[in-house]
Structure 1
Amino acid sequence: MKKEYSAIPESMRTMETYGFSWMDFVTAIPSPLFVVTSYKSNGKPNACLQSWACFTGNPGGFYAILSSVNKSGHMYQSIKEKGDAVLNFPSADIYDKCIATIANNGFDNDEITLSGLTAEQATGINAPRIKECFLNLECRYLWEREIKDGDTQVLMCLEVVNVCADEIHLDEIIQGRYGEKGYLYNIHYPINPENFAGKSRDWIATLEKLKDMGEY
């Protein structure tokens, strides 16, 4: 039997949502996990573990749509100041180092190096990228907008101008982009709204290919 929810369930009324909609936690739709890197105004590398994004392209280009960028954070400020950023996709073996960037987020910190990762200069833009990540998307800022007027978060569009990827991840026979060593996904607080008791947390997941859809 299906349940329908158009208003916050009673069990969730006192839940801390950290600025997200209660529907985020009811749906728990996974989103790719990556680290956004850029240079702060003092020249130090900024690193922000990020999710809530989608990627789309057309004959004119390939674009990253970041759907939850806090206007008060270093990531927003540095991208607006410099206009460049790299989206770095980690595998599970370096996840703990990527999440350490959250604690090492002081303005005067090199947030990449302090977290045990290696910063290297991007090829086509003025931003650092993380050497250990198997995929790096070098991007330029295009536009932003508030989903609703007065929101503290913005929807931000970045244009991908260069792709840097490990050879073994490009080859689906050797390693590929999926499985335990491939893309990571953030599963945001999957809860049962019928009996939520204040105990839940995010999960990290990997993706497995299920079925070959054939040539087209």
Structure 2
Amino acid sequence: MKKEYSAMPESMKKMETYGFSWMDFVTAIPSPLFVVTSYKSNGKPNACLQSWACFNGSSSGFYAILSSVNKSGHMYQTIKETGEAVLNFPSVDIYEKCTATITNNGFDNDEITLSGLTAEEAAKVHAPRIKECFLNLECRYLWEREMKDGDTHVLMCLEVVNICVDEVHLDEIIQGRYGEMGYLYNIHYPINPENFAGKSHDWIGILKKSKDMGEY
């Protein structure tokens, strides 16, 4: 039997949603985890652990759509100032170092080095890459839009201009991009509002290939 929810369930009304919609927690749709890196105006690397994004391409190019960028954060500020950034995708073995960027976020900090990671210059944009991440997408800012007028967060579109990827992850026979050492997904507070007791937390998920859809 299916349940219908068009208004916040009673069990969630006292829950801290941290600025997200209550629907985020009922649906718990996973989104890829990555670290956005750029340069602050003082030349120090900025790093922001991010999720809530999708990646789409057409004959005109390949694009990253960041769906929840806080206009008051360093990430938004630096991308608007420089017009460039790198999206760095970690495997689970360096995830804790990536989360350390959340606390090492002072304006005068080298947020990559302080978190135990290695900064290297990108090939096509003026932004640092994280060497330990198995995939780096070098991007240029295209546009942004508020979800609704006056919102504190924007939808931001970046054009991918260069891809850097570890060859062992590129080869599906050796390592590939999925499984235990591949892409990480943020599973946002999976809540059952029918029996929610006021306690929940995020999860990290991984992808597993399930069915071969045949050759193109």
Query: Match of 1:83?
Result: 83
CA shift, 1:194, in A, is 1.1
Q: Deviations over 1:153-210 (max 9, x none)?
A: 0000000000000000000000000000000000000011112111100000111000
Deviations 1:46-87 (A, max 9, x none): 000000000000111000000000000000000000000000
Q: Tell me the residue number matched to 1:45.
A: 45
In 2, Cα distance between equivalents of 1:211 and 1:84: 37
Task: Find the aligned partners of 2:32 and 2:204 in 1 and give their Cα distance.
Answer: 10
Could you tell me which residue of structure 2 aligns to residue 129 of structure 1? 129
Alignment RMSD: 0.4
Instruction: Measure, in 2, the Cα distance between the counterparts of 1:196 and 1:50.
Output: 26
Identity of aligned pairs, percent? 86
Partners of 2:22 and 2:6 in 1: how far apart? 10
**What are the residue-to-residue correspondences of 1:129-148 with 2, within 5 Å?**
129-148=129-148
CA distance in structure 1 between the aligned counterparts of 2:141 and 2:196, rounded to whole angstroms: 40
Equivalences for residues 1-216 of structure 1 within 5 A: 1-216=1-216
Unpaired segments ≥5 residues, structure 1: none
Aligned-partner Cα distance in 2 for 1:52–1:196? 24
Unaligned runs of 5+ in 2: none
Runs of 4+ residues deviating >4 angstroms: none
Separation (CA, whole Å) in 2 of partners of 1:196 and 1:110: 40
Q: Partner amino acid for 1:136? A: N
SS at match of 2:55: strand
Alpha-carbon separation, structure 1, partners of 2:168 and 2:212: 20
